[in-house]
Amino acid sequence: MADKTELHYTAEHEWLDLDGSVATVGITAYAAEKLGDVVFVELPAVGSAVASGTVVGEIESTKSVGELFAPVTGTVTEINDAVVDAPELVNSDPFGTGWLIKVSYTDLPPLLSYAEYTALVGE
């Protein structure tokens, strides 16, 4: 995974690592901390069409249930089965092995830089 200062972010606390026309998507450490201990992750099926800003999955913790939003419009090309089997990876390594989905996207909405995202969450 790229250095987190080189990633792109959304106001919904997701990060994107862009590689050509594929975005690897996960949630930020800030979001994982706010959720608490993640116990269940539901992800969209490979091949699913997703639209930017729509709910595509769910992340359940001991404290609450959070929705996973598609940060881009496109097609899901891969899901992280390791996170489905071991949801705690979202907490222990949100920027690495805790990634969630890969999406082949058609265009990018406005995204935040690392500096803009850290300013948003007050870090």
Domains belonging to the chain, first-starting first, are 16-107 (2.40.50.100)
CB distance 31 to 57 below 8 Å:
no
Residues 44-73, buried b or exposed e (16+ Cβ, 10 A)?
Answer: beeebebebeeebbebebeeeebebbbbbb
79 pLDDT tier (thresholds 50, 70, 90): very high
pTM, entire model: 0.94
Residues 36-54 have pLDDT tens digits of 999 999 999 999 999 999 9
Give the separation between CA 19 and CA 66, rounded to whole angstroms.
27
107 pLDDT tier (thresholds 50, 70, 90): confident
